[in-house]
Amino acid sequence: MNLLNKKEQLFVQYYETTESAIASLDPEEVATLVEHRDELILQINEIDSQAGTCEINANIEQMIVNIQDLDQQLNKKLERLKVEAQDRIQSFKNAQKIKNQYEPTYALTDGAFYDKRR
Residue 56 is predicted with a pLDDT of 78
- What is the gyration radius of the CA atoms in the chain, in angstroms? 27
- Compute the residue count for the chain: 118
Say how many C-beta atoms besides its own lie within 10 A of residue 63's C-beta. 19
Convert the pLDDT of each residue in 74-103 to its tens digit. 999 999 999 999 999 999 998 888 887 777
**In 3D, which of 63, 29, 26 has the Cα closest to residue 44?**
63
Q: Helix 3-23 crosses helix 58-102 at what angle (to 10 degrees)?
A: 30
Convert the pLDDT of each residue in 1-43 to its tens digit. 588 888 889 999 999 999 999 998 888 999 999 999 999 999 9
Distance of alpha carbon 12 from alpha carbon 20, whole angstroms: 12
Residue 38 is predicted with a pLDDT of 93
Distance of alpha carbon 11 from alpha carbon 67, whole angstroms: 9
Convert the pLDDT of each residue in 42-79 to its tens digit. 998 888 888 777 777 888 889 989 999 999 999 999 99
Domain ranges of the chain: 3-101
Per-residue pLDDT at 105 exceeds 70: no
Per-residue pLDDT at 112 exceeds 70: no
Alpha helix stretches (DSSP H) within the chain: 3-23, 27-51, 58-102
Per-residue pLDDT at 117 exceeds 80: no
